[in-house]
Amino acid sequence: MNLAIIGFGNMGKAILSGILEKDVIKAEKIIVADKKVSDPNFELEARFSKTKVVADNLQAVAKADLIILAVKPQIIRKVLEEIKNDSKDKIIVSVAAGIKKSLFSQYFGEKAKIVRVMPNTPALVASGMSAIYYSKTVKPHEKDFIEKVFGALGETVEISEDKMDAVTGLSGSGPAFVYLFIEALADAGVLKGLDRKTALKLAAQTVKGGAEMVLKSAKHPAELKDMVASPAGTTITGLAELEANSFRSTVIKAVKAAAERSEELGN
Ligand SMILES: NC(=O)C1=CN([C@@H]2O[C@H](COP(=O)(O)OP(=O)(O)OC[C@H]3O[C@@H](n4cnc5c(N)ncnc54)[C@H](O)[C@@H]3O)[C@@H](O)[C@H]2O)C=CC1
Ligand SMILES: O=C(O)[C@@H]1CCC=N1
């Protein structure tokens, strides 16, 4: 498989990192295109030095069997217009939030092999979560290969397209919500006298440990919460404060708003 990645920003880099790290596709078979490459100040990080990086999208797609589109939803139409004649019969994988299969069909035809993926940035440390939707025309061995590509970035799950906006609000945008929580925990630690470095480590490891408990213990989060909260203790006092300030309701509203924004981007 020859791979082209169009868009070499946060997500394009995260995907390439995972592919190279797990050796899913050899660097020599990958070509990356990003218009910023033509900027005289553009510098390629050493870890990507074996991969060909160009400014011209058409050069990237010319020999590709698989094209990963990692440009912003707002400019994807422009890129599709540019590559449409040179990309028929190739597998098109888009990570763009909100952009539906029906748009790709307009450019590549109804029978085109379209895959939509919603990854997240923890992919950079192989702890990503990617939800994948395959159009019916994608063959089982092609699905296996794409599963391997995104499996190199962390966990994967197959979903129907109508769930993609919900996934985008939850696991696509979710890391940013988690970082805000970690930052707030650390700030609180600093407020109570911890140094910043220690506070941040305590906060991040607490979130990581909590997540691992949910994933590995098979216990409901409510049961795990109850295990922490001693009668008349510290935890229940803190939990009461979170409830009084609508913590859960606020998180639900944040994910809902992000999912609705994803819907809007597709319209
Ligand atoms: N950042 C994230 O956490 C996630 C992003 N996504 C999706 O990934 C896509 C990319 O997002 P980011 O990487 O965050 O954005 P970004 O802004 O970091 O990267 C986009 C890249 O596209 C390049 N670009 C702009 N116009 C171009 C053109 N005409 N041809 C080729 N390249 C061009 C830009 O120079 C930039 O390097 C978006 O569609 C987003 O919805 C999906 C899941 C998570
Ligand atoms: O903020 C965004 O639009 C992208 C999609 C999911 C995460 N980042």
Interval 35-49: pLDDT, tens: 999 999 999 999 999
pLDDT attached to residue 225: 98
181 vs 7, 126, 153, 188, 203, CA distance in Å?
A: 29, 21, 23, 11, 9
For the domain bounded by 3-164, which CATH number is listed?
3.40.50.720
Which residues make Cβ contacts (< 8 Å) with residue 158, sequence separation at least 6?
A: 131, 132, 133, 134
Is 73 marked as a binding-site residue? yes
Domain layout of the chain by residue ranges: 3-164, 174-265
Q: Are 126 and 154 in contact (CB under 8 A)?
A: yes
Task: Please state the ipTM of this predicted complex.
Answer: 0.98
How much is the average pLDDT of 74-84?
96
User: Taking the alpha carbons of 137, 61, 130, 97 in that order, is the dihedral positive or negative?
Assistant: negative
Residue 86 has pLDDT above 90, yes or no: no
Give residue 88's pLDDT band: very low, low, confident or very high (50, 70, 90): confident
- What 249-252 contacts at long range (C-beta under 8 Å, 24+ apart), as own/partner pairs, is 251/177
Q: Are 38 and 152 in contact (CB under 8 A)?
A: no
Q: How far is the CA of 16 from the centre of ligand 2 (A)?
A: 18
Give residue 87's pLDDT band: very low, low, confident or very high (50, 70, 90): confident
Rounded-to-integer distance, Cα 141 and Cα 119, Å: 21
- Average pLDDT over all residues of the chain: 97
Rounded-to-integer distance, Cα 46 and Cα 54, Å: 16
Architecture of the domain spanning 174-265: Orthogonal Bundle (1.10)
pLDDT attached to residue 89: 85
Is 11 marked as a binding-site residue? yes
Output 88 or 54, whichever has higher pLDDT: 54
